[in-house]
Structure 1
Amino acid sequence: MYPSTKFQEIPRISLILAACAVCIGGGFQYGYNMGIISSPGKYVMKCINETWMERYNTEISEDMPSLFWTIIVSIYPIGGLVGSWIAGALSVKCGRKHGLLINNIFALLGAGFVGISYFSCCFELLIVYRFLLGVNGGVALCVQSMYLIEIAPRALRGTLGMGTSISLSLGIVIGQVIGLKELLGREELWPALLSTPAVLSILQLITLPWCPESPRYLLIDKGNETACDEALKQLHGEGGYLKEKAEIERERRDDAGVKPKKPWELFRDPSIRWQLASTMVINLFYQINGIGAMYYYATPVFAEAGITEDKIPYVTIGTGLSEFLPTILCGILIESLGRKVLIIGGYFLMALWCLGITLTLTFAEASPWVPYLSIAFIFAFIISFGMGPGGVSRALTSEIFTQAVRPAACIIGLTVNWIGFFILSMVFPYIVEGLGQYCFLVFLVINLMIAVYTLFLVPETKNKTFTEIQAAFQINNKTFQKIKAVFQTKTKKQNQQQQMSVAEEVLATYL
């Protein structure tokens, strides 16, 4: 491994601007869409009720507006799943940069459907709106993560890769703020609030064309050395681009003749078995670790602590900030502490806070101060998530694969992520209904499981080339092959012994 240099530790302005241009229509857009969606819910349901009355001259059943709103909200991960699969083709055929530019079409179309829905009194079109935003989010998270990892110098790869998580957390906070009644959170402005993602897409369409394409994509995938040199000079300057190009050249030689793989081809490749397994595990546990439960329980716990209903939206912004600020700190520490320490430490702390929340919710009526302790545990859980899994997981997915495998691997990882998101959103209310506050004990076990998995099966990737990271995973692959061979040998011997025993019994019968 090469030691970090001063050049590597201080990024150029052009590199920072490229990361910002990508994030504004990527992670920030995704987080913003998550942040604004809770505010207009009651107004949209009221609009559905009035529209139904005008359309059919009869009152809608009490549960139908809530059902339609649930569908509008829940269709988002379905769109994200579709977007994840579109992302692979876009990133390979059009490139990382142009794939992100094309992706803005989905957000702009979605904003258009809000206007059509409002003026035509067709609330069903809001389902299409939310689906298109989900597609936009699925493409953005996949392609943005690849772009940030591929343009970063090795010493800053973790920090720059954190751009997705940092921008996502910031987007949630800004979305919550914009959704306040003092801004766009009023009844007459809900169509404008739901259309604001178009502004972010326009900003990216203005800024991203000035940024270079991924140098790795240009050289390894397209074989365009001249364009690669120009991109590297723009990102890293005349004094540093040669070292970055040398690393890309080594990876190109190692993967000579290897074409970008399809997602289904990865399952048949034993050489990346543990990278793929780790990607799927990390993305699944990212969704089912209990962070959604914390936001779900936050409002009733705030109310029980005596916070009035009109003040709860402002306190809720605090939950968003408690995830955003630690994510920034995680980005600062990731290159010094490493990925594993942050992930393992975060999950162990989250397990501890789950135990605390279970106890305080169980004995909430024991004393007036207990609900405040519940609030403290909720914030501690969110902070631990932002400092560890919430910050590192998305960067790690793109970091553990080489160029030919990365797009397909990101598709698989995000597919698992979106499926986990959808299943949890459907199942979680029933889990809460059945287990109540004891559902956090389930999350306690889940967090301990992923911490142990990361400790033993995920190698540290800090300051390693993509080829070196792959070699580190090969140790797990070889160990698995040895265990498999021992098991097969043992099974073969047992089968032979059984066959001999049968033969001896047959001979004994005839003799």
Structure 2
Amino acid sequence: METLFRTLTSGNALIFILVLGLGGSFQNGFHTTGTSSPSPYIQHFINSSWYERYGEHPPLQTVTIIWSAIVALYAVGGLVAALNVKNVTGMFGRKKALIGNNLINILAAVFMLMSKHANSFEMIMIARFLYGIGAGLGGSIHAIYLGESSPKKIRGMMTLTCTIFIAIGKLSGQVFGLREILGREETWNILLSVPTCFAVVQLLTLPFFPEAPRYSLIDKGDEEACKKALQFLWGRKDEYKIEIDEMKAEQKAIKGVQTKTLMELIRDRSIRWQLITMAVICCGVQFSGTSAINIFSYNIFLEAGIPKGDIRYVTLGLGVVEVLTSLSSSLLIEHTGRRPLLWGGFGAMSALMVLIIITLNLKDVGQWVPYTTAGLFMLFNMSFVGGPSGMTITLANEVFVQSCRPAAFSFIGIQRWLLQALLSLSFPFLIEYLPSFSFVMFAGVCLVASLYTFFFVPETKGKTLLEISEQFKCITVCGKSFSREQTLETMATKL
């Protein structure tokens, strides 16, 4: 722990982590929970706006569809961003791409602030779409930038700070959403514009930081810029020589290989297991139920039987638990490794979701049952944040080499935002027609993800990216390997 503290404080790394987080993952976290508290006011605004235009109140189902679209358009914007992560980072680099992304967030805030005065729910839709683009680009570039700037010995802990800022963003959305602050009918548009203030902070400060060292050396071939960046971030020590040697080894291994496009990545059989692994984990994360809990927490806790006046405090408790868990897991990751936190987290989530389904069906037994359900949700969130949530970002940085990483983040982002959009559109209707049993799917998905990570995902702690790639090539199913090289070798032997 003492060595870790010296590493972080010998340069400008701590300020760097803070600046990246505020304009990166923090935005995603805030917008995930920021719509929960003002959701009744926004739906009332949709109703009144419709009435002023057409002279009649819209059907309840129409309001639900428009509200679902507002929620889902955030995910659609994230999907558009995911499709362009590789192009944006390749064209502008990590630093400039993140600086430019803040301008999108500022434009979104303008639409959100003006929507109420213009009496236009369409402007809310545009703002949510732009916020989605900003969060999609910001979250992916934040993770790539941080991973490419981190020493191997603390790479896991550094990339896990992305999760910490997501958790802080979620908690901030819940705090600012309190009635005593901005969670009122007259200020909901200001509430949903708050994260842009933090984007402005990044816009003004990030130009003073260097480009990602790994990107500077491997992609641009600028060893001097790489050295200066490492010195600026981690202090003027000779320890960075080890990192540069590792980068040179990776640069040599992929010499002559251009940065892959998304389609080239999908067609490349040598990284097939990495893609399958990330696909399973991403599906596990999105259909674990956490997205639904965060976005529709008001509806879920109302269905659970918790009084309306207590719901905001329960969701605030969820946010506090998530921040504390993410901070704790960042200290554990380099000790326990990635794999145990993954399969253990998914397994615990599956078991807890079964218990949640039971308590949701027993909510009328006594007044204590709804609060038991809330406690189970907190344990569920702890298992998620301490396991799959943080490990997904860490693994994405570790299982792909430099030429594959931007396209890999596009691949992961497309899955994430596509599944989130699907869930955002369908969950309001699921919880209406299948109140508690809509969670059965979540329990099953968590169980499958736990079994997959237990049997197939190798440990990546303390290994170079090239060593990790070799580990994935050795994965077998029923005693057979599906790597391209071994398949060709087997065919040649038979011939």
Q: Could you tell me which residue of structure 2 aligns to residue 288 of structure 1?
A: 287
- Name the CA shift for 1:288/1:313 in 2 (closer, same or farther; >3 Å): same
Deviation at 1:42, TM superposition (A): 2.6
SS at match of 2:181: coil
Cα distance per residue 1:143-200 (max 9 Å; x no partner):
1111111111111100000011110011000111111111111222222222222211
Separation of aligned partners in 2, 1:298 and 1:48 = 20
Residue 359 (structure 1) shift: 2.4
Question: CA–CA distance in 1 between the matches of 2:229 and 2:335?
Answer: 28
How far the C-alpha of 1:466 sits from its partner, in A, is 1.0
Q: TM-score, normalised by structure 2?
A: 0.91
SS at 1:310 equivalent: helix
Report deviation, 1:58: 4.2
| Partners of 1:382 and 1:360 in 2: CA distance | 17
C-alpha distance in 1 between matches for 2:272 and 2:107: 39
Deviates more, 1:22-31 or 1:289-298: 289-298
Residue 384 of structure 2 is matched in structure 1 by 385
Counterpart of 2:375? 376
Aligned residue for 1:497? none
Cross-structure match for 2:219: 221
Q: Tell me if the contact between 2:262 and 2:411 (Cα under 8 Å) persists in the aligned partners.
A: yes
| Kept in 2: contact 1:323–1:382 (CA 8 A) | yes
Match of 2:7 among 10, 18, 29: 10
1:301 is displaced (CA, Å) by 7.1
Aligned match for 1:55, one of 53, 56, 67: 53
Give the aligned partner of residue 338 of structure 2: 339
Provide the residue aligned with 1:136 in structure 2: 134
Pick closer, same or farther for the CA change 1:59–1:420 going to 2, 3 Å: closer
* Aligned position for 1:479: 481
**2:240 aligned partner:** 241
**Offset of residue 371 of structure 1:** 3.2
User: Which blocks of at least 5 consecutive residues in structure 1 are unaligned?
Assistant: 494-511
State the 1:231 CA deviation: 0.7
1:261 aligns with 2:263: no
CA distance in 1, matches of 2:182, 2:407: 39
Deviation per CA, 1:360-408: give whole Å up to 9, x if none: 2233334444333322222211111111112211221122111010000
Q: Structure 1 residues 144 and 305 mapped into 2: Cα distance closer, same or farther (>3 Å)?
A: closer
- Which 10-residue stretch deviates more, 453-462 or 358-367? 358-367
C-alpha distance 379-131 of structure 1, shift in aligned 2 (>3 A): same
Distance 1:7 1:312 in 2: 39
> C-alpha deviations, 1:52-75, integer Å up to 9, x for none?
343344444444344322211111
RCO higher in structure (CA 8 A, sep ≥6): 2
> Is 1:91 the equivalent of 2:89?
yes
RMSD in angstroms over aligned alpha carbons?
Answer: 2.7
Letter in 2 for 1:445: G
Secondary structure in 1 matching 2:267: coil
Q: CA 1:438–1:41 in structure 2 vs 1: closer, same or farther (change >3 Å)?
A: closer
| Mapped contact 2:303–2:435 kept (Cα < 8 A) | no
Structure 1 residues 173 and 215, CA gap change in structure 2 (3 angstroms) = same
Length, aligned pairs only:
487
Distance in 2, matches of 1:296 and 1:236, equals 38
1:166 maps to which residue? 164
1:355 maps onto 2:354 in alignment? yes
Larger-Rg structure: 1
Shift of 1:106: 1.1
How do 1:75-474 and structure 2 match up within 5 A? Answer: 75-239=73-237, 240-295=239-294, 299=298, 307-433=306-432, 435-474=434-473
Alignment identity in percent? Answer: 36
SS state at 1:349 partner? helix
Deviations 1:335-369 (A, max 9, x none): 00000011111111111112222222233334444
Check whether the contact 1:326–1:386 (CA below 8 A) recurs between aligned residues: yes
Question: Structure 1 residues 310, 161: closer, same or farther in 2, change over 3 A?
Answer: same
Which consecutive residues of structure 2, in runs of 5 or more, have no partner in the other structure? none
How much does 1:48 deviate?
3.1
Is the 2:32–2:294 contact (alpha carbons within 8 Å) kept by the matching residues of 1?
no
Are the structure 2 counterparts of residues 8 and 216 from structure 1 closer, same or farther at C-alpha, using a change threshold of 3 Å?
farther
TM-score (norm 1): 0.89
Partners of 1:8 and 1:155 within 8 A in 2: no
Higher mean C-alpha displacement, 440-449 vs 72-81:
440-449
Distance in 1, matches of 2:12 and 2:310, equals: 42
